[in-house]
Amino acid sequence: MSERLPADADDQSISGDEILYRRIPLNPSEMIQETDVPGEFRPSSGNFRSEGPLSVDRSSLSSPEQTRDRAKPAVFHIMWLQNSEGSSAG
């Protein structure tokens, strides 16, 4: 997000189609849950609760691996969402 935008502003310079990445801790394990599709998981909505703006990595600037490894040595899942979903999630 651009630095001069207010914290709650929707940064229109980022395409709504852009994929965003965010780390999810492995522990507690209930931060994610299995969907009805075997092998597929979805993040708990709790992953979107934040005191300030939600920090994410843009896929145009970072790979999932880079997002994951930025917090080494801790190990994380990576969730992805489209920017348009992120905007609606706040």
Partner 1 sequence: MGAHEMMTADAVTIQSQPTMRLEYQQERKSLTHFLGQGVQGVQVIKVPPEWTWQVEPIKKILGALLLPENWDSYGGHAPGIGSAAAAIDFIAQITHEDPPRPRVVPLGTGGVQLEWRNGQRELEVECSPDGSIEVLKIEGDSEGEQCPSFNTADITSLFSWLLAA
Question: Are 36 and 3 within 8 A, CB to CB?
Answer: no
> What three-state secondary structure class fits 82?
strand
Task: Determine the straight-line distance between the first and last CA of the chain, rounded to whole angstroms.
Answer: 13
Q: Provide the β-strand partners of residue 60.
A: none
Report which of 51, 44, 42 is spatially closest to residue 28, judged by C-alpha positions: 44
Q: Which of 1, 10, 18, 25 binds partner 1 (CB under 8 A)?
A: 25
Question: Least Å distance between CB 32 and partner 1?
Answer: 10
Question: Least Å distance between CB 84 and partner 1?
Answer: 15
Q: Which of residues 29-68 bind partner 1 (CB under 8 A)?
A: 30-31, 33, 44-47, 49-51, 55
Residues engaged in binding partner 1 (CB under 8 A): 22-25, 28, 30-31, 33, 44-47, 49-51, 55, 70-71, 74, 76
